[in-house]
């Protein structure tokens, strides 16, 4: 059997370039097509100079994507744009891994409320699998459309899942997250302008961030509804990475003496989850598909405190997308994803 032919739709952003970085060394695939409407006709390395002499593929138009007889397509398109591609290619033979938020939520109505956009392909919600392999592996394997989770939700959900699924915490959860500026995308914005981001720190999207409802939706799936998530993101003056500090209240009578063992048992055999003995740092996971999780209990305040860390561009985006691809093709999930953290 030859290598699987892969297409990447939308290559000029951070997620598109990260997909290329990971897939270039994946032993089972070849990148056959990379699209960009704004840069078509140029080489990929003209857009991302660090690929010079490594990936020189010419960028093509999205209109020509089906000329390549692809086995899988990654969508690295903005929210509100991916849904058009999925609608137009609903009958395509290849599966789609969508890295936008267009199919992550429970319904088109919830999407329209939180994303403030009209959804044009509501049927997609019925067919999409939510792409956190550690939680929904069996569901993902049978889907042609995978909604790759958001970066903040990935970090928070993996930190919360053992508690919520184990029914040992109350319904109210507080998630306090910090991210690097690449989470805002590659296009210049006032908030990521160097004088504003450097040597600075700020909260944003307070009470309104769209990832709130994504986290809450998965918490409801894990334990019969009723979840209430207070999510506050913050912008760090660093390139990449997310750390989430999560506060939850244990239910009465729960034995909290073996919290770490609960996490180790829940994630037993998972190649990308590491339960650590001290709060993780961004550089512990930088450039990799790992999620490092630390958990403890504060008896004075009666809070379970969970701290999780991921690379927002890898486990929070491109790496998890490749992990989902590996599942779809029945390959070991760590295939092509054995990078060692870049530290320092």
Write the pLDDT tens digit of every residue in 75-126: 999 999 999 999 999 999 999 999 999 999 999 999 999 999 999 999 999 9
Q: Is 293 a residue whose pLDDT tops 80?
A: yes
**Whole-number pLDDT of residue 32:** 97
pLDDT-derived band at 270, boundaries 50, 70, 90: very high
Beta strands per DSSP E along the chain: 4-9, 29-35, 72-75, 96-98, 128-130, 145-147, 169-179, 202-203, 228-235, 242-250, 273-275, 291-298, 303-310
SS3 label, residue 307 = strand
Report the pLDDT value the prediction gives residue 11, as an integer from 0 to 100: 83
Supply the pLDDT for residue 187.
86
> Strand, coil or helix: what is 250?
strand
Q: Max CA-CA distance within the chain?
A: 64
**Per-residue pLDDT averaged across 195-203, rounded?**
95
Using the predicted structure, report yes or no on whether residue 173 has a pLDDT greater than 90. yes
Report the top-level CATH class of 4-149+315-328. alpha beta
**Catalytically active residues, by annotation:** 151
Residue 1: is its pLDDT beyond 90?
no
First-last CA distance in the chain: 40
Tell me which H or E stretch contains 136. Answer: helix 133-141
Question: For the chain, what percent of residues have pLDDT higher than 90?
Answer: 95
Which regions of the chain carry the CATH code 3.30.360.10? 152-312
- Altogether, the residues listed in the chain come to a count of 344
Residue 300 exposed, middle or buried by CB count within 10 Å (0-12, 13-18, 19+)? exposed
* Predicted local distance difference test score (pLDDT) of residue 246: 98
The mean predicted confidence, pLDDT, of the chain is 96
Find the mean pLDDT for residues 184-199: 90
Q: What is the pLDDT of residue 41?
A: 95
Distances (CA, A) of 286 to 20, 239, 305: 17, 10, 23
Examine the pLDDT at 59 and tell me if it is beyond 80. Answer: yes
What CATH code is assigned to 152-312? 3.30.360.10
Residues 6+ apart with CB under 8 A from 202: 191, 234, 235
The per-residue pLDDT for 12 is 87
Query: In this predicted structure, what is the pLDDT of residue 191?
Result: 87
Helix (H) or strand (E) holding 220: helix 211-222
Is the distance from CB of 30 to CB of 54 less than 8 angstroms? no
Q: How confident is the model at residue 247, as a pLDDT? A: 98
Which regions of the chain carry the CATH code 3.40.50.720? 4-149+315-328
Averaged over 137-145, what is the pLDDT?
95
Q: Identify the pLDDT of residue 31.
A: 98
- Give one DSSP letter per residue of 21-52, joined into a string: HHHTT-TTEEEEEEE-TTTTTSBHHHHSGGGT
Residue 303 confidence class, pLDDT cut points 50, 70, 90: very high
- Joined tokens for residue 85: 């591609």
């Amino acid at each position: 059997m030859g290598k699987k032919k892969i297409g990447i739709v939308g290559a000029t952003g951070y997620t598109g370039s990260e997909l290329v970085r990971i897939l270039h060394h994946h032993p089972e695939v070849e990148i056959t097509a990379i699209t960009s409407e704004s840069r078509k006709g140029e080489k990929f390395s003209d857009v991302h100079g660090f690929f010079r002499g490594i990936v020189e593929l010419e960028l093509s138009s999205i209109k020509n994507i089906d000329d390549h007889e692809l086995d899988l397509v990654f969508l690295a398109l903005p929210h509100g744009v991916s849904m058009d591609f999925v609608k137009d290619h609903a009958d395509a033979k290849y599966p789609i891994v969508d890295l936008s938020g267009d199919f992550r939520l429970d319904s088109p109505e919830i999407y329209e409320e939180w994303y403030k956009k009209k959804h044009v392909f509501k049927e997609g919600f019925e067919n999409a699998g939510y792409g956190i392999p550690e939680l929904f592996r069996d569901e993902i394997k049978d889907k042609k459309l995978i909604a790759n989770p958001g970066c903040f939700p990935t970090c928070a959900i993996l930190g919360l899942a053992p508690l919520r699924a184990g029914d040992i915490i109350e319904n109210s959860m507080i998630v306090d997250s910090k991210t690097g500026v690449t989470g805002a995308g590659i296009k210049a914005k006032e908030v990521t302008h160097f004088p504003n981001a450097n040597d600075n720190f700020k909260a944003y999207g307070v009470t309104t961030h769209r990832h709130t409802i994504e986290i809450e939706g998965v918490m409801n799936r894990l334990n019969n509804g009723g979840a209430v998530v207070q999510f506050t993101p913050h912008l760090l003056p660093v390139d990449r990475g997310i750390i989430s500090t999560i506060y939850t209240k244990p239910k009465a009578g729960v034995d909290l003496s073996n919290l770490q063992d609960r996490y180790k048992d829940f994630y037993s055999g998972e190649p990308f989850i590491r339960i650590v003995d001290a709060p993780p740092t961004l550089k512990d996971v930088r450039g990799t598909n790992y999620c490092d999780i630390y958990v403890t209990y504060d008896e004075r305040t009666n809070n379970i405190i969970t701290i999780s860390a991921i690379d927002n561009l890898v486990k929070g985006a491109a790496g998890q997308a490749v992990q989902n691809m590996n599942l779809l093709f029945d390959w070991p999930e760590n295939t092509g994803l054995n990078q060692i953290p870049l530290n320092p």
